[in-house]
Every structure is written in C-alpha cells, then in structure tokens.
C-alpha cells in the first residue's frame, strides 16, 4: 500500500472521530440562539481553556511559526512573548464583560457596546469591521488544511480536496451543535495538537542533531545571525519586534470570539483560572519553533516553494518516520486549522445575525428564525472562505495584515464602556473610524513611522478622538452608565430603550447572583 494512502487513511479516521464527537455534543443543548452561541452559559473551565486556546493555535502554529523561525530565527520568539501575556488584560475586563453578558443577555461583543451607547449604529459598524477581519483569518485556516494534505501526501491529495474535506466536516458539526460542538472537538483536538507538536519537535531535533545544544551550536557556526536580533533574512528591528508583541497582546482580547466565549463561561472564576493557565499553551509552541530552528541548517531555500512548507518538508523528506506516524502528525496539524476555523465561522455567523441583521431589520427576529439564519450563515461564510482559499486571492494577505489592526480598534471603546462614564456615542464612533483610517493608511499608503505596527498608531489616534469628542459632547445619564462602570453596585436592571435592547430578554438569574460576588472591584 502506498504511503500516501496510509497517511490519508489515518487522517481520515481522525476526521471521522471529530465529526462524531462534534455532532454528539449537541445532546442536551437547547434549540435557542443563546444555546447555540453560548452553550447555555454553562461551559466549564477545561472546555473553556481549550476553546480560547483554539483562537490562537491555528494553521499558523504548524505552518507560519516554523516558517518564521526558518526565515528569520530569533524574531520568531515574539510568539512566546505575546503568548505569555495574551490574556493578561482579560483578568481585569473579562469578569466584568461576562457579568454584564449574563445579566443582560448579551450574545455578541457588539451587544455590550450597543447597550452602553444606546445605538444601533455601533453594532452595525463593528459587525462590518469584525467580519472583514474574520473572513481572511478563516481563509488562512482553510488554506493551511489544504496545504498540509498536499505536502504530506506529496500532492496525491490536491489542495482543494484536502481543504474541502477538513472544512466540510468542521462546518457540519458547527451547523448542528454550535458552541458545544466547538468546545468538545477543541478539547479532543487540543490534546492531539500537544502530543503531535512534541513528537515533531523531538523528532526534528534528535534525528537531525542528537541534542538541542548540538542544533544551536551548528546554527551558531553556520548562520549566527539567526540567533540574535534582528535575525537572518528579512529580519526585524527592535521596534518592529516590540510593537508586534504589544499589538498582539492588546489585539488578542479584542477579537469578537473572545467576548462571545466568555459569555459562555459558567462563572467568573473560570475566566480568571483560564487567564492563569493560558501561558501553558507555550508547551505547544516551543517544540514547533524548535522544528523551525532545526530547518535553518538542514533545508535550503530552493528545497521548498514557500517558508510555511518547511515543517511538512522536514516530516516527509528529512525525518525517518513511518506513514502512520506522519498521518497522525498531519491530523494534529489539520486539527489546529479546524479548531480555529470552527470558532471563526461560528463567531462570524453570529455577528452577521446578531449585530447586523437584527439591528438593520426593523422587526425583531424570532429566536427560532435567528438560530436558523445563524446556522446557514456558518455554511455561507465557510463556503466564501473556501472559494477565496482556492482562488488564492492576493488581497487576502493584505487583509490579514490589518486584521489585528482592525480588532485592536475595539480596545478604546471597551475601556470607555467599562471604566469611563463620560464616554459618548460620538466619541467612540469617531474614534473607531479614525483609528481604522490611520491603520489602513500606514498599512497600504505610507510606511509606518519608526517601524511601529500601524494598528498601534490607529489606537493612539482612536483614543485621542474618543476622549476629546466625548468631552465636547453631551454625557449620557449617570444611572445608565453606572450599570456598566459599577456592575456590582447595580442590583436592579434599568429599563432599556427599545433602540438598544438585545434580542434576548434581559434578566437576573442564578449566574448573576454568583457573578456579583466574583466581579472585580469597581473603578473609582
């Protein structure tokens, strides 16, 4: 039997298991929009940990990270730096966001801001910005799955077929089970990713060099520039390196799916524990980066067509591995793409329905209709991303470059919502649009000053506009803003204007009683 058939069969069996687990997760889930998007707000610490982990460990982890280490060396370590700090802001704002979400029935990131600023315009603008950032990110996951199949089977499984199979399965279980399907499959896939990552790292280092010390000694002798900043090839300056870390840390917690998944947490304690445990995911990245460093002296640039093929080249051509093991490694790498892709498709669909259609449509959607539309949006968005991946649309790369620059523009409005009563609708809206404009300008028109990431310049302008315009416009009623700035002090739910009321009825429940004792201390 040919090796590629064995490799494909092992991966196929794994994909079938994922499909079964994803569909079975639907058992016991209510057929409501809240159940589909938040899992009934009952997700425990273990599943929440793996759900949030899937947001960051994607096709980039198994393709882009080793490719970055192979082409530049030391600058690739920025991944470990921002990973350790990725959720640090969420320790402060996560419990507040989750408390408000449970109290007022929020299902999306923009629900919070629409309620705070009593505006339908805020969620509509944010939904457009979010989907523009999420679709290319999803496209990259589909591209990664297709490339992995092609590399591992030496082209026997074409790109379009590999990506189609992986994301058809992903779309099916998200369609059927919503967040619970994502949660339980991410748990399965997260464990496999961890095992596979270490198997790849250990095999690459010890088969090619014997020890880690020997590997770095070899790099020091042949290409020492790869071990210091700014690195080899097209290296980074210190400003670019540092600003990339800051942009990633601040932008990571602004992705819409981080808000959405935090609404699903069973308690605020689970959110804080997740923040503490999150740096453990570095255990997955370290061996992958080691594999990238191992390629610096063993792989020539002419051996591969693109840097993100370096890990697959190592596995298939340089390491002595049986086909079954290669199949398991392929399954683990595809798992990274699928776990992130499932989250992205689910979040993008919920944003389209919850933040765009529900606010543009004059009449409120029935819950059953909203669930049905959200499910079909998962299919449509996944299909669109698949088409873009197959067509290899060049602008996708440019869109991905500003994806973090887009979502980080939600940072000022988040802090204004939770900590500053004086913020107004005019201030936050003008700030978001100005910040987005500056980010686009420094990304596509003018080189960014001092090698600082464009998104950070955008946030600076965003914050200035928000503060200045808010100070010169009429403040909102204190009893309204008090609900957000001091959620612990609000024991009753104020009547909401029809303009900003979320689809789900606001209510006080047992989760709220618990959250009132857990939410972090209010700001002065």
Q: What is the pLDDT of residue 330?
A: 83
pTM of the model: 0.77
Residues 454, 243: contact at Cβ < 8 Å? no
Which residues, 6 or more positions from 165, have their beta carbon under 8 angstroms from its beta carbon?
Answer: 12, 15, 149
Q: What residue segments make up the domains of the chain, in order of their start?
A: 3-397, 409-487
- Predicted pLDDT of residue 87: 82
CB 417 within 8 A of CB 110: no
Whether the bond into 230 is cis, omega within 30 of 0: yes
Distance CA 479, CA 26 (A): 40
58 neighbors 337 (Cβ within 8 angstroms): yes
**What pLDDT is stored for residue 133 in this prediction?**
85
Per-10-residue mean pLDDT for the chain, 524 residues long?
A: 82 88 78 68 63 64 83 87 84 90 86 91 90 84 83 82 88 85 78 84 92 94 88 78 86 84 78 82 85 91 79 85 86 81 86 84 76 90 88 57 84 94 95 94 88 92 97 93 75 39 39 39 33
At residue 499, the pLDDT reads 37
Angle made by CA atoms 463, 467, 471, in degrees to the nearest 5: 170
Q: Using alpha carbons, list the distances in angstroms from residue 512 to 82, 116, 481, 509.
A: 32, 18, 19, 5
- The whole-angstrom separation of Cα 175 and Cα 371 is 10
pLDDT of residue 359: 78
Place of tokens 């016991």: 28
Domain 3-397 has CATH 3.40.50.920: no
pLDDT at residue 51, as a whole number: 64
The DSSP result for 97-116, as a single string, is HHHHHHHHT--SHHHHHHHH
Backbone CA torsion sign across 143, 149, 154, 158:
negative
Please choose, from the candidates 168, 171, 192, 183, the residue with its C-alpha nearest in 3D space to the C-alpha of residue 27. 183
Nearest to 199 by CA among 317, 108, 299, 284: 284
């Amino acid at each position: 039997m040919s090796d590629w058939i064995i490799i494909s069969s092992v991966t196929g069996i794994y994909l079938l298991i994922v499909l079964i687990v994803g569909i079975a997760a639907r058992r016991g889930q209510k057929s409501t929009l809240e159940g589909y998007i938040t899992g009934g707000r009952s997700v425990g610490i273990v599943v929440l940990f793996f759900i949030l982990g899937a947001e960051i460990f994607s096709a980039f982890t198994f393709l882009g990270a080793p490719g970055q280490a192979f082409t530049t060396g030391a600058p690739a370590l920025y991944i470990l730096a921002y990973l350790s700090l990725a959720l640090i802001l969420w320790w402060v704002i996560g419990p507040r966001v989750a408390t408000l979400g449970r109290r007022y029935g929020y299902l999306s990131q923009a629900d919070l801001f629409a309620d705070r600023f009593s505006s339908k315009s805020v969620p509509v603008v944010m939904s457009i910005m979010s989907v523009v950032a999420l679709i290319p990110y999803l496209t990259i996951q589909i591209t990664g799955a297709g490339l992995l199949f092609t590399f591992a089977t030496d082209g026997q499984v074409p790109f379009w077929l590999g990506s189609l199979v992986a994301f058809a399965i992903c779309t099916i279980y998200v369609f059927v089970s919503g967040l619970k399907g994502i949660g339980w499959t991410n748990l399965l896939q997260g464990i496999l990713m961890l095992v596979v990552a270490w198997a790849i790292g250990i095999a690459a280092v010890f088969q090619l060099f014997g020890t880690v010390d020997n590997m770095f000694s070899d790099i020091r002798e042949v290409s020492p520039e790869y071990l210091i900043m700014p690195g080899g090839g097209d290296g980074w300056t210190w400003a670019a390196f540092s600003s990339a870390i800051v942009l990633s840390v601040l932008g990571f917690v602004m992705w819409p799916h981080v808000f959405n998944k935090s609404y699903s947490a069973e308690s605020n304690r689970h959110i804080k524990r997740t923040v503490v445990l999150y740096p453990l995911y570095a255990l997955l990245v370290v061996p992958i980066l080691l594999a990238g460093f191992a390629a610096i002296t063993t792989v020539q640039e002419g051996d591969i067509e693109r840097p993100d093929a370096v890990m697959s080249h190592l596995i298939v051509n340089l390491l002595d591995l049986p086909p079954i093991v290669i199949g398991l490694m392929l399954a683990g790498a595809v798992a990274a793409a699928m776990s992130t892709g499932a989250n992205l498709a689910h979040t993008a669909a919920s944003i389209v329905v919850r933040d765009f259609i529900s606010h543009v449509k004059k009449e409120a959607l029935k819950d059953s209709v909203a669930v049905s539309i959200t499910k079909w949006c998962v299919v449509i968005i996944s299909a669109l991303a698949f088409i873009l991946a197959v067509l290899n649309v060049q602008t996708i790369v440019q869109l991905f470059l500003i994806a973090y620059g887009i979502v980080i523009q939600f940072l000022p409005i988040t802090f204004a919502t939770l900590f500053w009563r004086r913020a107004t609708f005019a201030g936050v809206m003008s700030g978001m649009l100005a910040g987005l404009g500056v980010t686009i300008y420094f990304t596509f028109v003018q080189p960014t000053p001092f090698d600082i990431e464009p998104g950070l310049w955008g946030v600076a302008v965003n914050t200035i506009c928000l503060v200045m315009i808010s100070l010169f416009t009429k403040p909102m009623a204190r009893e309204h803003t008090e609900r957000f700035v001091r959620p612990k002090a609000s024991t009753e739910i104020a009547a909401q204007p029809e303009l900003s009321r979320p689809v789900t009825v606001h209510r006080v429940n047992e989760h709220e009683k618990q959250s009132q004792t857990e939410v972090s201390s209010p700001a002065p």
